[in-house]
Amino acid sequence: MAGSWVRVEPPFVEFNDVTVGQVYKTKVTATNVGKTLRKITIEKPATKVFRFTSSTSAEVVPPGLCVGGLLEFTPKEEEEVGDVLLIHVDDSETIEIPLMGFPRVCSLLMDSVLDFGCIAASSQVISKHHGITNQGSAPGKSCIPLLALVRVKLQNRTAVVLSIRAEVVTQRLEVFDLQGAPLSCLWFGPVYFGTSCVENVVLQNNAPQACDWVCLLQETTAGTEAGTCLQKTTDAALLEGMKKCSPANQDVSQVLMCFPNQGQLGPYGKTTVTVRFSPICKRYIVCVCNSSVELAVTGSGLPVSLVPNSSRFDFLTCVTGQRVDLLCVLHNLCPKLPVNFRFRKLVHFSTKPSSGTISPGQCQDVVLSFTARQQGSFQVCQKLDVLGYVAPKGGGADRDVTGLQLCSFHTITLHLSAVCCSETTHPVPKLNPGITPAVTNPTGSRPHVLSSKLSHCHRMARVAVLCANKTRLHVHRREKRQIAEGEEFLAFPNDRATSIRPASANRQYRTIFTGVHRYRYIDTDYALTEEEEKQRQHHRQVYADFIKQLRETRLQKAKDKQQEKVDDNVDIGIVPSQGLIPPALHISDLESNKITVTKPNDSYACSATKRSCQVTSITRKVNNQVSEVINTVPSTSQEVADCNRTLTAQELYQVNIGPLFVDFGEVCVQSVCVQKLELTNHLSVFVWVQLEVDCPELQGSSPLSHVLPPHSHNTLPLMFQSNKLGSFHRPISYTVNQQHPGQIVVQAYVVPLALELSTTLLVLRPTPALLAQSGYRSSVTLRNQRNHAAEFTWRPVVTENGILFSIRPATGTVEPFSELDCEVVWHPSFSAPSEGDFDLCVHEGNSLRLHCVAKIALRNMKSIELRVGGSVEPPDVDINVSRFQFYSVHAGSQQAIPFILTNRSSAAAQVTFDLSEYPDFSLNLPQPSSKKEPGVSVVELQGHQAVDCSLIFSPTQVTLRPNICQ
């Protein structure tokens, strides 16, 4: 009730973040808020660290007034201090004011959940900062033990169990069509050889991490059939495949092309990729793949089957101005695709129709016309073009493949022949009728009529001829004339105008009725004599011979000049360097049999945690015995320019660094284990590869920097050595041209030196072939399954009865992955103990105990003979799977194919699988293998026993694995 008429300020007092020795002060007041007088008394705190000094001595307080004082706090130690300040009202009620003093302490807060979110399974180490907040006034400590359950110990607070969450998804690409449906196979259908077809697909990155993608063409993918002509017989196709087994003849990049063929996709990003299918002759099916998604692309290349009814058309002979038509039938024998055709223009020849489309399996009639416009013989080739969409020529590999042009891709030749001649037309003579007018004296027109045609001239010159063809008066002269001389012409009246000179010196004219020669006059002053005529002909022949000789001389000089280009001392009848192609150098021709590494100076170290390069040289030899020095840093101007380039995704894919997961397996402590890292440069420029090693276990690896020449291969030895037992897992960062980062995960399990005993209980029995003084003998095998030699010592365990067992060798060394037999001997004697123990002590390794027991034979017994027989049966082990085919296994994942191993014989069998040369393959057996050699597994089968096994494929990099038959 006192609180209703007395108000205390502050209601409680706290001194926070105090320091020992400092004095902290605050005021405390009590106000009378009632209507009557109140007696208010403040009692001092009980502890010495709190001291209250009143500011007035009055105890009776009127309404509205207050009493108070100064409260001082002086901490003596770093601890929490508490007390109470008592205020008495009218000696009947008491008000308590809590007093608290808090020293400087830390207040650590941390979220109990660490969420990495959605990440991609890319074998990379992902780091994330998880904050611990200190809300106090003093520094605090936290302890995080590296255990499976992360329990964080915070100072002045209870431990917090840290829950680590992450949604790990597979980094993969997906292919969809334009409508958004998943696409596993892109069907182009039938396409003519020489043409192209374009389809669009959508490539999506279904992961929260950005990725670079490259479009690759794989010719050896399962289900691929390329270069097979389905129209040939089996024998012909196999023979052609044997001839074209060279990889140079199987360039599938000419068949399929993508645009763009590389790029970068952001998280859950999409892009459109255009795929162009351009079938080359005798190529059919190919496949497009990359490291994350596979898209099968199928298409059929069909030859053009446009066949005319004939390849030769003869128009025979025609006269100038006439036109001759022939029918040509074009048959489209292809049952799936139509044919677009077009005839080229040709002089004197025409086609109708000149272009068109023929449906599958149909035919088209085309009229070929020859229109004679000039004389001569014509032998021409009519070109028939087959039209289709063809990719434009030229440009680089990254050119746009979406634009197609409609042009000719196939040509059919038709041979046309025709002859055009002029028709000789004999004009009808126009003769003088024989009645000469008084005024004019007209002459005849074309009066050259043979004597034998006299009967046909009756209508042309009726008066001149009359009945000359019927009179028989001068028949004898005409017959004699025809026998003695050649053709003669009729002499019509007035057929020549005012001249008696003959029209031709060799032409004779005779009269119509009598048949006598017409008189003619030759002027000797102007006519050529016979000698002059012969000389004229001789001159013409001289000029003709001279022109012929000049032509022959010109042709001979051209022939001699051509012969001088290929002339040699020894003429073997071939043109030098014609048709010869020099062989190309491939990566497979390179050998890194001899690698010389210059050891670095021990005092050289880039830093205590990182060493990224060492100046050294590596000598690499190739097949042609030419040594090439690989530098660790760019030295020449060409190397500096190439190593400063930013590589595209497609170029970066051709720089192979692997394997990306290096597993050393079990490694003995303080031992050295070496694994090879392959560096391959498929580019035509220099690349600079640098590794950063920030752990002492891999400091022995060198050199860590390599300038790879174009089309070269090199090996980097990774050397692992550790003095700490347990699991080792560490990523190694590398860069290409100091711009493109990457990681290699190194894993190892460090174990101590250890030896294994073939048995821990050794029974010794007498040997019949030895004397009794030789004692009882047996042997025990020491096995070293580790990578380091193990030194051992046998120590006998001496009891009260002593020990009569001996073992040799008593000390020695077992080489890595080898065995050693030790012989144990027991000499029987009176009251000799038949049991004994030996301790096998491995230097800096494990210890094992061997218990030996001697089986004493009974005495004074009769010996018997025991006949032992048996039969030898050959082993018969069968595997129910004849071929293990792994399809599309992603790098970093694994796939298993189960199989049954059956022993069909009655005898026990031991089956050994040697996969040491194929580290990506392993076996899963029902029981552990007896051999611990890496890559070698041994299975023991009893008679008629079957066990279930499985073959596991765990690729570490993108490559094509060969067939394994072992």
Residue 268 is predicted with a pLDDT of 87
Q: In this predicted model, what pLDDT tens digit does every residue of 905-916 receive, in sequence order?
A: 888 888 888 888
pLDDT score of 619 more than 50: no
- Confidence band, pLDDT 50/70/90 cuts, at residue 302: confident
Q: What is the mean pLDDT of the chain?
A: 79
Q: In this predicted model, what pLDDT tens digit does every residue of 119-152 receive, in sequence order?
A: 887 767 778 888 888 877 788 787 776 565 678 8
Cα–Cα dist 798/206, whole Å: 71
Residue 61 is predicted with a pLDDT of 85
pLDDT score of 363 more than 80: yes
Peptide bond into 260 cis (omega under 30): yes
Average pLDDT over residues 639-643: 92
The structural domains of the chain, with segments of one domain joined by +, span 8-103, 108-170, 173-220+252-302, 306-393+406-419, 637-750, 756-854, 877-953
| H or E element, residue 555 | helix 530-566
Higher-pLDDT residue of 208 and 831 is 208
CA dihedral sign of residues 703, 705, 707, 713: positive
As given in the structure block, the two tokens for residue 330 are: 């074009």
pLDDT score of 831 more than 70: yes
Average pLDDT over residues 576-604: 48
Phi–psi pair at 476, nearest 5 degrees: -65, -35
Q: pTM here? A: 0.53
Residue 758 is predicted with a pLDDT of 92
pLDDT score of 2 more than 90: no
Q: Which CATH topology does 8-103 take?
A: Immunoglobulin-like (2.60.40)
- Confidence band, pLDDT 50/70/90 cuts, at residue 601: very low
| H or E element, residue 480 | helix 475-484
Peptide bond into 833 cis (omega under 30): no
CA dihedral sign of residues 764, 765, 771, 775: positive
Q: Which CATH topology does 756-854 take?
A: Immunoglobulin-like (2.60.40)
Average pLDDT over residues 883-903: 85
Peptide bond into 576 cis (omega under 30): no
Q: In this predicted model, what pLDDT tens digit does every residue of 800-829 receive, in sequence order?
A: 878 888 999 999 999 999 999 999 998 877
Q: In this predicted model, what pLDDT tens digit does every residue of 651-681 receive, in sequence order?
A: 888 899 988 889 999 999 989 999 999 999 9
Cα–Cα dist 300/285, whole Å: 7
Higher-pLDDT residue of 685 and 596 is 685
- Confidence band, pLDDT 50/70/90 cuts, at residue 965: very low
pLDDT score of 418 more than 90: yes
- Confidence band, pLDDT 50/70/90 cuts, at residue 247: very low
Average pLDDT over residues 377-389: 92
Residue 151 is predicted with a pLDDT of 81
Cα–Cα dist 705/716, whole Å: 9
Residue 441 is predicted with a pLDDT of 44
- Confidence band, pLDDT 50/70/90 cuts, at residue 233: low
pLDDT score of 48 more than 70: yes
Pair type for strands 93-103 and 13-18: parallel
Residue 437 is predicted with a pLDDT of 52
pLDDT score of 452 more than 80: no
pLDDT score of 487 more than 50: yes
Name the CA dihedral angle for 564, 569, 570, 571, rounded to a multiple of 10 degrees.
20
Average pLDDT over residues 337-343: 93
pLDDT score of 589 more than 80: no
Q: In this predicted model, what pLDDT tens digit does every residue of 832-857 receive, in sequence order?
A: 788 899 999 999 888 999 999 988 76
Residue 567 is predicted with a pLDDT of 64
Residue 374 is predicted with a pLDDT of 87
Cα–Cα dist 688/635, whole Å: 11
Residue 162 is predicted with a pLDDT of 84
β-sheet with 756-757: strand ranges across = 756-757, 776-784, 818-826, 805-808
CATH numeric code, 173-220+252-302: 2.60.40.10
Cα–Cα dist 783/755, whole Å: 6
Residue 767 is predicted with a pLDDT of 77
- Confidence band, pLDDT 50/70/90 cuts, at residue 789: very high
CATH class of this structure's domain 306-393+406-419: mainly beta
- Confidence band, pLDDT 50/70/90 cuts, at residue 574: low
Higher-pLDDT residue of 627 and 671 is 671
Residue 782 is predicted with a pLDDT of 94
> Where do we find the tokens 């440009």?
395
- Confidence band, pLDDT 50/70/90 cuts, at residue 566: low
| 197, HSE (Cβ side, Cα atoms, 13 Å) | 18
Q: Domain 877-953 belongs to what architecture?
A: Sandwich (2.60)
Nearest to 954 by CA among 914, 916, 923: 923
**Residues linked to residue 875 through DSSP beta bridges, in sequence order:** none
Domain 637-750 is found in CATH 2.60.40.10: yes
> Where do we find the tokens 């073992």?
807
Higher-pLDDT residue of 568 and 793 is 793
> Strands, E, within 565-654: which ranges?
596-597, 618-621, 627-630
Residue 598 is predicted with a pLDDT of 35
pLDDT score of 274 more than 70: yes
Residue 39 is predicted with a pLDDT of 86
The DSSP letter of residue 346 is B
> Strands, E, within 570-708: which ranges?
596-597, 618-621, 627-630, 655-658, 661-668, 673-681, 687-692, 705-708
pLDDT score of 354 more than 50: yes
- Confidence band, pLDDT 50/70/90 cuts, at residue 625: very low
173-220+252-302 and 756-854: identical CATH topology: yes
